[in-house]
Amino acid sequence: MTIELWKNVDRHYKELILPHDERFDRIEESVRKAGLPEIAISAPYGRLMEILIKTAGIRRVLEIGTLGGYSTAWLARGLPPEGTLISLEIDPERAKLARNNLENFDFKNQIEIRVGNALQLMEEMAQSHQETFDLIFIDGNKSQYPEYLELSLPLSRPGTLIIADNVIKHGQVVNQIIKTPDQKGVVKFHKMVASNPHLEGSVIQTVGQKGHDGLAFIRVKETLSSQ
Ligand code: DHB
Ligand code: MG
């Protein structure tokens, strides 16, 4: 099994099953051209989140880490017309690129990209007691995953779904190769999920065009007694 095969399988199902929308390819191209890292989610992963949002009737989404707006567009595709998405991005240049890319979609007015440190922006949101989110997609700085999770809680309601990207990264966690701040952040994140009685979670490994990685699926419980 090689990454070449995983890439081909992703490509096969992208062509066979996914909607053909060149605007998504153009977002990827814009990231490439800007010399930014090509680390956005895959198309099948984006489609999965779109379908999840539609199925669960999710109306309010928070995304942490916008980059070029690729995952932002997939998330927004799932929203009903009254739905809204707030995406947090620390880099003003990336935010500008994403805004530009999202201009091409009908749902552009449902998306707000906020520029700044996500932890600070989330704290401000929590303090202003604004409406909670139905889905929080964590995909920012991996070393800060524990803090993103902590700050997601006051922004959640019972039943809120939290999805976190890049929580496996070639299985480093199991291999005990935990050296970098990013790896340490992800390990602490998993421990927090395991020990917080308000959360129920799972981790799904993935292989594909982005190699071997995975996502965490976490649900904020209705009550502490529900298992
Ligand atoms: C990488 C991948 C990601 O999806 C991300 O959010 C950050 C980094 C990577 O492959 O390095
Ligand atoms: Mg990611």
Q: Would the pLDDT of 210 be above 90?
A: no
Domain around 194: 3-226
Spatial separation of the C-alpha atoms in residues 157 and 161, rounded to whole Å: 9
Report the CATH number that the domain containing residue 66 is assigned in CATH.
3.40.50.150
Using the atom order of ligand 1, give the atom closest to the CA of residue 210. 10
Pick the atom of ligand 1 nearest to 169's CA. Answer: 10
Q: State the total domains in the chain.
A: 1
Between the CA of 165 and the centroid of ligand 1 the distance, in Å, is: 8
**Which residue bears the tokens 């976190």?**
164
Q: Please tell me the distance between residue 149's alpha carbon and the centre of ligand 1 in angstroms.
A: 18
In which order are the strands placed within the sheet that holds 211-220?
A: 111-115, 84-89, 60-64, 133-138, 156-164, 211-220, 199-208
* pLDDT of amino acid 29: 98
pLDDT tens digit sequence for 125-168? 999 988 999 999 999 999 999 999 999 999 999 999 999 999 99
Distance 141 CA to ligand 1 centre (A): 9
Q: Name the average pLDDT for the chain.
A: 94
Residue bearing the CA closest to ligand 1, atom 5: 39
Helices (H), the chain: 3-16, 22-33, 43-56, 70-77, 92-102, 118-127, 145-152, 181-195
C-alpha radius of gyration, the chain, whole number: 17
Q: Which pLDDT score, from 0 to 100, does residue 1 have?
A: 64
Q: What percent of the chain has pLDDT over 70?
A: 95
Q: Which residues line ligand 1 (CB under 6 A)?
A: 39, 139, 165-166
Rounded to two decimals, the pTM is 0.96
Residue with CA at minimum distance from ligand 1 atom 3 = 39
Q: Mind listing the pLDDT tens digit for each residue in 21-77?
A: 999 999 999 999 999 999 999 999 999 999 999 999 999 999 999 999 999 999 999
Note the pLDDT of residue 224: 59
Closest-CA residue, ligand 1 atom 11, reads 39
For a pocket test of ligand 1, which of 66, 166, 167, 189 has the largest count of ligand atoms closer than 8 A to its C-beta?
Answer: 166
Q: Residue 226: is its pLDDT beyond 60?
A: no
Average pLDDT over residues 191-216: 95
Residue 177 banded pLDDT, cuts 50, 70, 90: confident
